[in-house]
């Protein structure tokens, strides 16, 4: 006999609060209260039923997530078409059920199943309970409970589908950019604060698809869909192609995340260029996962003549500990240190300490985000050698910059 079941709405907070996968919790609850052996949620894919979640203690070998069965061997499609009923306390009493293979193969002696719908109304799959024993006590109230929890599961499924569609759209956009080179390289000069000469250029990525989106949004999307490494390597490869056209006294700085650098796939790109004017800037937006692999790749890059820079020092994870471990050749002070440095004693003190550290470790210092003459003068007085920012020079598309220079 089935247990009394309170209103489904009253049960939801408790079930969802149990933690773990919410749909799995729903299946477990319904299976237990209906005294059934197996509960599952399935998706109809072409002519097959694919199991997406299940709950069957002691019968885990019977079903596995991702396993599929032909639709003509199970009840689901037939129930959707209105042949066997959604509720079957004993399929032996349903003549049509006897024509379906699973009835005798398992065997199925009790079954209740209701459709789950996508947001557009199409059938996604089924929310089902079954047992190898008859359950004559199953009734219309049990069917309503199944429908209620199927509806709640549909909400979860549609949320997951929505997330999946967003991810697919992101991936398609990133792949289109990679396949069509849908970006351009901009070069921002890095200026010597003493004589205003150009020490080098930082390669920045500017994406061309409309409508315009900031580069960091594209970078985040690439990371979300697992294309961060591919995207970074492609941008670096394109950026390095401009190195031969820069003045011979200028270096080119390219950006990489620690994860991409640790793959070991940047050093072949640097080796192919055959120049010692490359600075690899490590952008630290998150903790470094594999420090040993990163240090090995840094050694390879230095063997090739490249220099290593820590970007955004003083922000995020670019703290002193990482600087000490990576021993950079260039330390780039984050804009949070350079902004209003002429007015803020704390910023000046920290910038001065970083300059002294760089001097002691034979590193160079670049101040990022210089926006005013006063900031530049203050940083120069503190011993900062190089600077970067709109006050000194704005980024320019490499094609425009080098095109003008070639025509001169």
Identify any residues that bridge with 331 across adjacent strands, giving them in sequence order: 310, 365
> pLDDT in tens for each of the 408 residues of the chain?
444 444 444 444 444 444 448 888 999 999 999 999 999 999 999 999 999 998 999 888 877 888 898 998 899 889 998 889 999 999 999 999 999 988 888 899 999 999 999 989 999 999 999 999 999 999 999 999 999 999 999 999 888 878 887 888 888 888 888 888 888 999 999 999 999 999 999 999 988 777 677 888 888 888 888 888 898 999 999 999 999 999 999 999 999 999 899 999 999 999 999 889 999 999 865 567 778 889 999 999 999 999 999 987 766 554 677 788 889 999 999 999 999 999 999 999 999 999 999 999 999 999 999 999 999 999 999 999 999 999 999 999 998 887 633 322
Same domain, 121 and 199: no
Helix (H, G, I), strand (E, B) or coil at 50: strand
Residue pair 110/135 in contact by the 8 Å Cβ criterion: yes
Q: How many domains does the chain have?
A: 2
How many CA atoms within 13 Å lie on the side-chain side of 383? Answer: 14
Q: Looking at residue 315, what is its pLDDT?
A: 62
Last residue of a domain, one of 164, 199, 225: 164
In a domain, 173, yes or no: no
CB-count burial class (<10 Å; 0-12, 13-18, 19+) for 210: exposed
Q: How far is CA 323 from the centre of its chain?
A: 26
How many CA atoms within 13 Å lie on the side-chain side of 348? Answer: 15
The DSSP code sequence of 233-270 is HHHHHHHHTTGGGS-TT-EEEEEE-HHHHHTT-SHHHH
Same domain, 236 and 146: no
pTM listed for this prediction: 0.67
Same domain, 263 and 335: yes
In a domain, 88, yes or no: yes
Same domain, 262 and 199: yes
Same domain, 235 and 134: no
Same domain, 229 and 108: no
CB-count burial class (<10 Å; 0-12, 13-18, 19+) for 144: middle
117-122 long-range Cβ contacts below 8 angstroms, 24+ apart: 117/154, 118/154, 118/157, 118/158, 118/161, 119/158, 119/161, 119/162
Same domain, 307 and 346: yes
Identify any residues that bridge with 198 across adjacent strands, giving them in sequence order: 191
Same domain, 365 and 233: yes
Q: Looking at residue 10, what is its pLDDT?
A: 44
Name, in order, each residue with C-beta under 8 angstroms of 4's C-beta and a sequence gap of 6 or more: none
In a domain, 279, yes or no: yes
In a domain, 262, yes or no: yes
**Consecutive H or E run containing 312:** strand 307-313
In a domain, 169, yes or no: no
What is the number of other CB atoms lying within 10 angstroms of the CB of residue 106?
A: 15
In a domain, 1, yes or no: no
Last residue of a domain, one of 129, 164, 199: 164
Domain span at 12: 8-164
In a domain, 313, yes or no: yes
In a domain, 308, yes or no: yes
Q: Which of 303, 306, 258 minimizes the C-alpha distance to 278?
A: 306
Residue pair 253/200 in contact by the 8 Å Cβ criterion: yes
Residue pair 393/199 in contact by the 8 Å Cβ criterion: no
Helix (H, G, I), strand (E, B) or coil at 133: coil
Same domain, 112 and 244: no
Q: Which of 224, 202, 201, 205 minimizes the C-alpha distance to 213?
A: 205
Last residue of a domain, one of 164, 192, 216: 164
In the chain, count H helices and then E strands: 15, 15
Q: Looking at residue 313, what is its pLDDT?
A: 79
Same domain, 393 and 359: yes
User: The domain that contains 269 carries what CATH number?
Assistant: 3.20.20.450
Same domain, 363 and 246: yes
In angstroms and rounded to an integer, the radius of gyration of the C-alpha atoms of the chain is: 31
User: The domain that contains 75 carries what CATH number?
Assistant: 3.30.450.40
Residue pair 405/373 in contact by the 8 Å Cβ criterion: no
Same domain, 116 and 193: no
């Amino acid at each position: 006999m089935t247990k009394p079941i309170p209103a489904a709405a009253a049960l939801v907070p408790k079930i969802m609060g149990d933690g773990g996968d919410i749909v799995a919790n729903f299946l477990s609850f319904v299976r237990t209260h209906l005294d059934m052996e197996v509960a599952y949620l399935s998706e109809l894919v072409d002519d097959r039923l694919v199991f997406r979640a299940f709950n069957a203690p002691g019968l885990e070998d019977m079903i596995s997530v991702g396993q599929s069965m032909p639709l003509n061997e199970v009840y689901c499609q037939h129930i959707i078409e209105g042949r066997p009923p959604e509720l079957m306390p004993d399929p032996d009493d349903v003549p049509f059920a006897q024509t379906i293979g699973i009835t005798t193969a398992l065997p199925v002696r009790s079954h209740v199943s209701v459709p789950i719908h996508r947001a557009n109304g199409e059938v996604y799959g089924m929310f089902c309970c079954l047992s190898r024993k008859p359950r004559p006590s199953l009734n219309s109230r049990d069917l309503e409970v199944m429908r209620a929890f199927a509806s709640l599961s549909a909400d979860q499924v549609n949320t997951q589908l929505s997330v999946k569609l967003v991810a697919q759209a992101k991936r398609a956009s990133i792949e289109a950019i990679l396949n069509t080179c849908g970006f351009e390289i901009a070069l921002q000069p890095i200026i010597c604060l003493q004589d205003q000469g150009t020490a080098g250029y930082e390669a920045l990525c500017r994406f061309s698809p409309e409508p315009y989106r900031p580069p960091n949004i594209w970078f985040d999307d690439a990371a979300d869909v697992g294309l961060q490494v591919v995207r970074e390597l492609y941008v670096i490869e394109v950026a390095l192609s401009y190195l031969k056209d820069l003045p011979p006294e200028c270096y080119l700085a390219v950006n990489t995340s620690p994860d991409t650098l640790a793959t070991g796939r940047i050093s072949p790109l640097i080796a192919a260029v055959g120049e010692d004017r490359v600075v690899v800037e490590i952008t630290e937006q998150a903790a470094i996962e594999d420090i040993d692999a990163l240090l090995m790749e840094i050694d390879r890059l230095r063997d090739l003549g490249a220099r290593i820079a820590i970007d955004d020092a003083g922000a995020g994870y670019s703290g002193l500990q990482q600087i000490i471990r990576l021993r950079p050749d260039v330390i780039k002070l984050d804009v949070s240190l350079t902004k209003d440095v002429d007015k803020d004693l704390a910023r000046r003190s920290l910038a001065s300490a970083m300059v002294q550290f760089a001097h002691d470790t034979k590193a160079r210092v670049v101040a990022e985000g210089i926006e005013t003459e006063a900031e530049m003068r203050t940083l120069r007085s503190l011993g900062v050698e190089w600077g970067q920012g709109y006050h000194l020079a704005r980024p320019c598309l490499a094609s425009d910059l080098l095109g003008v220079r070639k025509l001169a």
